[in-house]
Amino acid sequence: MTSKRKMQRKKEKEAQQEVKETLGLFDKIPEECLTCREFFDKKDKKMVSEWRVVVRKQEKKVRLYCPKCWDAAIKIVKDYGEQSE
């Protein structure tokens, strides 16, 4: 029973560390779309819910995309996938 408890504590500690690292990257959110440079207002609930954030933990980079640029990128990826089949 003690080893189960130790394993559970270890998992919880690792999860807390991961959350801490991810929240640390929150300050790195850019103020504009990476592609079109449209301004991003962090206080605008609509923008926050519609814009896409891509976090690269390994490189410690955070990228931000507006809905228009995100949709265009998705379309390009889908078209490329269809062409390669």
Longest dimension (CA), the chain: 56
CA–CA gap between residue 78 and residue 72 (Å, rounded) = 10
**What pLDDT was estimated at residue 52?**
94
From the number of C-beta atoms within 10 Å of its C-beta (0-12, 13-18, 19+), residue 29 rates as middle
Statement: residue 75 has pLDDT above 90: yes
Angle at 49 between CA 46 and CA 55, to 5 degrees: 140
CA–CA distance, 51 with 16 (Å, rounded to integer): 26
Q: Mind listing the pLDDT tens digit for each residue in 39-56? A: 999 899 999 999 999 988
pLDDT score of 15 more than 60: yes
